[in-house]
Amino acid sequence: MPKTRLEAFSDGVFAIAITLLIIEVRPPDSATGELAGDLVSLWPSYAAYVVSFAIIGIIWVNHHDIFGRIITVDRPLLFLNLLLLLTVAFLPFPTALLGEYIRQGDNAHIAAAVYGANMTAIGLAFIAMWTYLARVPALLVPEVGAEGARRARRAATIGPVVYGVSIALAFVSPVACLIVYAALALYFAISFTVAGRAEGEQVTDSR
Amino acid sequence: MPKTRLEAFSDGVFAIAITLLIIEVRPPDSATGELAGDLVSLWPSYAAYVVSFAIIGIIWVNHHDIFGRIITVDRPLLFLNLLLLLTVAFLPFPTALLGEYIRQGDNAHIAAAVYGANMTAIGLAFIAMWTYLARVPALLVPEVGAEGARRARRAATIGPVVYGVSIALAFVSPVACLIVYAALALYFAISFTVAGRAEGEQVTDSR
Amino acid sequence: MPKTRLEAFSDGVFAIAITLLIIEVRPPDSATGELAGDLVSLWPSYAAYVVSFAIIGIIWVNHHDIFGRIITVDRPLLFLNLLLLLTVAFLPFPTALLGEYIRQGDNAHIAAAVYGANMTAIGLAFIAMWTYLARVPALLVPEVGAEGARRARRAATIGPVVYGVSIALAFVSPVACLIVYAALALYFAISFTVAGRAEGEQVTDSR
Amino acid sequence: MPKTRLEAFSDGVFAIAITLLIIEVRPPDSATGELAGDLVSLWPSYAAYVVSFAIIGIIWVNHHDIFGRIITVDRPLLFLNLLLLLTVAFLPFPTALLGEYIRQGDNAHIAAAVYGANMTAIGLAFIAMWTYLARVPALLVPEVGAEGARRARRAATIGPVVYGVSIALAFVSPVACLIVYAALALYFAISFTVAGRAEGEQVTDSR
């Protein structure tokens, strides 16, 4: 399986998952004159849409960074990539939960915790990928190698740790969780941008 | 990130958003002999489908025009493009609102205003992109340059101004709004066509 | 706009429209022990799914045949192609209607007529495309030319005529309509196959 | 029709079908404090999501293996491929049935049987493809030939036989069915991986 096919398939899944998010924002069933109020009270759905959109967008950028360092794909990597896609394609479900329940007492804690658990799973899938690549460095471009894969894996551990902690935070304040997720997305977007400039965008895709 | 990957991902999002529009046109729950009448009274949904389809189609053409003038993509542009996609992928929601509420008193004003606000946001995302490109003209083909980016930005201001005004119009006549959106789509399609002929389709994609 | 981008975007819309068809087949809400019967009585939905899947598949093959004869794309052709996509992406709606209402008295006639009207619109979009190509033969490969475009347009008139007649048939027997659509899909698939063999698959894509 | 277009279209359908699976996992309508319990009781939906995701992922890998051995595509193969896509794109429906009914008495047997029937149909579509390729070996790379196609067809018969038997198992224990499907997916993933290593990943895509 050539790398480009795997990338194109993954891009397809990311593009669909990111665009499907909107169908979880359901138009309200409003009585006359109540649409404005009903739309305002849907704010958690919009917030969840924006945060999940940003997160999948950043995962897509991240995914390209990884495959920009890979020369060739073998079957285990192929299935580890499917595992990652499985966790990303699941995100519309906790996004819908968060939108629906974030203002609803006890349920809000659960919804935010499920969202955090999904994010943790995505982070673990990235770590699994780097762990495998550190073992089979022949798949990587020579400048990266096993050492680079181990460094990337260490850097990737931040994700599941932060998201794991957010599961606990969910039981304190679900809205704080949502703000943390939005802040993390913004942080990653900015740090990617700064890093990209610092490196002069050297890590380019071999395609 | 090579330009072609970003274009392919964006094309994927546009293709999905444009095709998802139809699932917001719900088959009516009709009693025997009433389907014909129920289908006729769904006309706002068909009209909203056609207008949003035309708008996303034109945005797709427009997007290609922009990337036909871009040589390379950096991280800020990557995230500005994600911002644009976020606003476009949101459009099925106000499309559903417009289809559902355009004949329903006060709610019709709100639905049309939300649609206009979404269109304004799309226009602002395009302006943000051109503003950035005017600052970093090295991303552009030499014949365009900073001056060309500023000219394109000025031309792009028409969008949010017209759509911003349409938000006010929504509170006068929601149906007039829909007609204005349809007319604008038709106008852009024709002016693109005429412009394309006048330029002899010179601005081509470097792919 | 290079031909390949337009083809990739159109392929995306066809792939999404064809895969979205299944979400119009809703799992029944069955009481204990009644799922088997409920699933059997969903047969019109399965039949509509299969027929629409076959039709979109054939349209996709047909679309490639056309663009295999085209060298370059201009703006009017771009918008005529969007018009075609608009009619194809609409098909999941009458497919859902047909599945839901084909056994329901008067409504069945309407549902089948709407399906026929959508098919007629698709056929007319193909004719519009060939009419334009006959006027601007410079877009075509030289071996085809204006004469080839006129021949293709004449051949394409069969579609809207047959589907137009099927609208009348819908008021006699909706089930007969569905059988005609299935038979037409089968006929086109077989005639394409035979034609492909006769020509030795000479009309190839320039990509 | 060049092979790459057919592959890209098929990849699109696989990517959409795999990503659409999540919209069959509906957020529960929970009263205050009951979301946790309601989410736990949704486990059949998550299990069905994971199993179907794995199955479509493996079908995608399998599809590439086949087209890695094909040089050129003719019309009959094109339509046999559409037949395969029709059966794969249908899978979200029995996936939803399985998630909804697996714990519901008699209905569970039916839901599992329908899932098994869909899997059997997918397997038969693969066999139909290999049967055709064995008859028209000119479509295959020379090293494979008619003999290789017959060998692949024999290997492919395992699928429909196992899945056919699973239809009977559905009437004994639907949960056992789900476990068998998960085990089969895992088995195929591992055997693909081992086979890929044994062959040194020699069967590569000609793209």
The pLDDT tens digits for D151-186 are 999 988 988 998 999 999 999 999 999 999 998 888
By C-alpha distance, which of B17, B43, B19, B129 is closest to B79?
B129
Give D140's strand partners: D70
The pLDDT of residue A4: 85
What's the gap in Å between the CA of A50 and the closest CA on chain B? 7
Q: Is A91 helix (H, G, I), strand (E, B) or coil?
A: coil
Contact C86, B50 (CB under 8 A): yes
Alpha carbons A144 and A126: distance in angstroms, whole number: 17
Please tell me the distance from the alpha carbon of residue B149 to that of residue C16, in angstroms, as a whole number: 35
Rounded CA-CA distance B46/C31 in Å is: 35
The runs of H, that is alpha helices, within A102-157 are 105-135, 145-156
Give me the mean pLDDT over the A130-152 stretch: 92
Interface test with B, best of A14, A21, A22 (most B CBs within 10 A): A22
Of the listed ranges B73-87, C175-189, D35-49, the least confidently predicted one is: C175-189
Would you state the structure tokens that stand for residue B21, as one six-digit string?
Answer: 């529009």
**pLDDT tens per residue across span B136-187:** 999 999 988 899 999 999 988 988 998 999 999 999 999 999 999 998 888 8
Of D19, D35, D54, the CB nearest to A16: D19
Q: Say if residues A64 and B78 touch (Cβ distance below 8 Å).
A: no
Chain A positions touching B5 (Cβ under 8 A) are: 7, 11, 64, 205, 207
B24 interaction partners in chain A (CB closer than 8 Å):
27
The rounded Cα A207 to chain-centroid distance in angstroms is 23
Token pair in block for residue D105: 């008495």
Cβ within 8 Å, pair B16-A21: no
Give buried/exposed letters for D97-120 (b at 16+ CB in 10 A, else e). Answer: bbbbbbebeebbbbbbbbbbbbbb
Q: What is the CA radius of gyration of chain A?
A: 19
pLDDT of the residue at D15? 96
Give the mean pLDDT of chain A: 88
Q: What is chain B's length?
A: 207
C155 pLDDT above the threshold of 70: yes
Largest distance between two CA atoms of chain B: 65
Provide the chain B residues 31-50 that lie in CB contact (below 8 A) with chain A: none
Q: Report the pLDDT averaged over residues C82-96.
A: 96
How far apart are alpha carbons D67 and D86 in whole angstroms? 18
Q: Is the pLDDT reported for residue D187 higher than 90?
A: no
Q: What is the pLDDT of residue B93?
A: 97
Q: Give the number of A-D residue pairs with CB atoms closer than 8 Å.
A: 102
Of D54, D84, D62, D63, the C-alpha closest to D8 is D63
CB of B166 closer than 8 Å to CB of B177: yes
Chain B residues with CB under 8 Å of C103 CB are none
| Angstroms from D95 CA to nearest CA on chain A | 15
Alpha-carbon distance of C14 to C89, in angstroms, equals: 8
Given a cut of 70, is residue B192 above it in pLDDT? no
Secondary structure (3-state) at A140 = strand
Identity of the residue numbered D125: A
ipTM: 0.89
Q: Do C53 and D89 touch (CB under 8 A)?
A: yes
Contact D104, C32 (CB under 8 A): yes
**Residue B201 pLDDT level (bands cut at 50, 70, 90):** very low
Residue A184 — very low, low, confident or very high, per pLDDT cuts 50/70/90?
confident
CB B42 within 8 A of CB B104: no
Question: Which of A35, A43, A52, A204 to mutate to test binding with chain B, by most B CBs within 10 Å of its CB?
Answer: A35
User: Across the strands, what pairs with A140?
Assistant: A70
pLDDT for D202: 40
Q: Both tokens of residue C46?
A: 């399965």
Query: How deeply is B13 buried, as exposed, middle or buried, from its count of CB atoms within 10 A (0-12, 13-18, 19+)?
Result: buried
Please state the φ and ψ torsions of residue B80, each to the nearest 5 degrees.
Answer: -65, -35
The secondary structure element, H or E, covering residue A68 is helix A43-68
When the pLDDT of each residue in chain D is averaged and rounded to a whole number, the result is 88
C33, C50, C60 ranked by CB distance to D9: nearest: C60
Higher pLDDT, A165 or B191: A165
Chains that contact B by 3+ CB pairs under 8 Å? Answer: A, C
pLDDT attached to residue B194:
61
Q: Residue B30 half-sphere exposure, CB side, CA atoms within 13 Å?
A: 27
C-alpha–C-alpha distance, residues A25 and B86, integer Å: 14
For D97, the 3-state DSSP assignment is helix
DSSP 8-state symbol, B71: S
pLDDT surpassing 80 at residue D75: yes
The closest alpha carbon to B35, from C87, C88, C96, belongs to C96
Put simply, the answer to whether B18 touches C13 (Cβ < 8 Å) is: yes
Across the interface, do D12 and C8 touch by the CB < 8 Å criterion? no
Contact at CB, A196 and B104, closer than 8 angstroms: no
Q: Residue A19's closest CA among B34, C13, D140, C199?
A: C13
Query: What is the average pLDDT value for chain B, to the nearest integer?
Result: 88
B110·A35 Cβ contact <8 A: yes
Cα distance between residue B107 and residue A135, in whole Å: 60
d(CA B195, CA B30): 47
Contacts of A21 in chain B (CB under 8 A): 89
> What is the reported pLDDT for A159?
85
Which chains have at least 3 CB atom pairs separated by less than 8 Å from chain D?
Answer: A, C
- Residue C16: name the closest of B15, A37, B104, B192 by CA: B15
**Chain A stretch 80-139, residues whose beta carbon is closer than 8 A to a beta carbon of chain D:** 82, 85-86, 89-90, 92-93, 96-97, 100-101, 104-107, 110-111, 114
Nearest to D187 by CA among A79, B106, C140, A86: A79
* Closest residue, chain C, to B186 (C-alpha): C79
Residue in this structure with the two tokens 């939005």, named with its chain if needed: A182
Chain A residues in contact with B89 (beta carbon < 8 A): 18-19, 21-22, 53
Burial of A172 (0-12, 13-18, 19+ CB in 10 A): exposed
Q: How far apart are CA A58 and CA A187, in angstroms?
A: 10
Per-residue pLDDT tens over the stretch D6-19? 999 999 999 999 99
pLDDT of residue A158: 86
Q: How do residues C31-63 score in pLDDT, each as one tens digit?
A: 988 999 999 999 999 999 999 999 999 999 999
D113-159 pLDDT, tens digit per residue, is 999 999 999 999 999 999 999 999 999 999 988 999 999 999 889 88
- The minimum CA-CA distance between C35 and chain D, rounded to whole Å, is 5
Q: Report the residue of chain C nearest D100, measured CA to CA.
A: C27
Which residues, listed in sequence order, are joined to residue B70 by a DSSP beta bridge? B140
Model confidence band, residue C20 (pLDDT cutoffs 50, 70, 90): very high
- Tell me the mean pLDDT in the region A59-63: 92
Nearest to D13 among C18, C27, C189 (CB): C18
Calpha distance D50→D170 (Å, rounded)? 19
Q: Which residue of D has its CA nearest to C34?
A: D107
Q: How far is A8 from chain D (nearest CA, A)?
A: 8
Lowest-confidence pick of A174-183, B195-204, D161-170 = B195-204
- Cβ atoms of C84 and C124 closer than 8 Å: no
Backbone angles phi, psi at A25, to 5 degrees: -90, 95
Question: Is C39 in a helix, a strand, or coil?
Answer: helix
Is the full-model pTM beyond 0.95? no
Those residues whose C-beta lies under 8 Å from the C-beta of residue C207, and which sit 6 or more positions away, are: C3, C4, C7, D2, D4, D5
Cα dist from A133 to A138, A161, B26, whole Å: 8, 21, 47
Do the Cβ atoms of D136 and D71 come closer than 8 Å? no
pLDDT value at residue D203: 37
What pLDDT, on a 0 to 100 scale, did the predictor assign at position B101?
94
State the smallest CA–CA distance between residue D194 and chain C in angstroms.
32
Nearest residue of chain C to residue D87 (CA atoms): C50
* Chain C hits for B51, Cβ within 8 Å: none
* Closest partner CB to C205 (pick from D1, D86, D107): D1
> Residues D106, D111, D116, D120: what is their CA dihedral angle, to the nearest 10 degrees?
120
Q: What is the pLDDT of residue C187?
A: 82
- Rounded CA-CA distance B91/B56 in Å is 9
